[in-house]
Structure 1
Amino acid sequence: MKNFLDCVYRIFRKIATIGSDKYLHLIAGLIVAFVLGRLLANVEAWAFPAITGVLLLMVAKECVDYYLRDEQFDLKDVAAGLVGAVVGVILCLL
């Protein structure tokens, strides 16, 4: 039991080190993918455009940050948005 609790605490410690910005990207990707999934529900392969739309949106946002706001292009933000997109697509399937 102690080993299990140690494993759980290690997982939560790793999650706590993730920056809050990544959570915002995850939530934004989830919402956009869910909305696109519902809008494209009548299309046979609706999941691909939903995830592609989130990918394009996240890359565009990072390009704006890099070129206009002089911030770093963060691929982890894009990845967090894509994780949210996958969760959004799964929620559309339910």
Structure 2
Amino acid sequence: MDCALGSYIYLAMMPALCSHWLMGSKYRAKLRRKYNLVEAPFPDMVSHIFCPCCALAQEFRELKSRGLDPSLGWQRIHEQQIKIPPPSQSMTR
């Protein structure tokens, strides 16, 4: 592969590879609104830009603590309408 082709592939893939923070922060905000959670320890966007793995783990544990199966995806979880109170009203660590 020559340099021009490599550069083109890199530039074409960067928007897709670097957009995880945008989608992740929107999902996190939706989760907070649905369950009335505080935006902590950092704003949603900051959490997903600097530590996306930590943010996803927090969201996963929050859903599990409410008796929901995160592997079903947002739409199926929303359809379940299971409302089990969590141990506390903040994102778990």
Task: Indicate the TM-score class for this superposition, using the shorter chain for normalisation.
Answer: 0.3 to 0.5
Q: Name the one with the larger helix percent.
A: 1
- Alignment TM-score, normalising by the size of structure 1: 0.33
- Structure with bigger RCO (C-alpha 8 Å, 6+ apart): 1
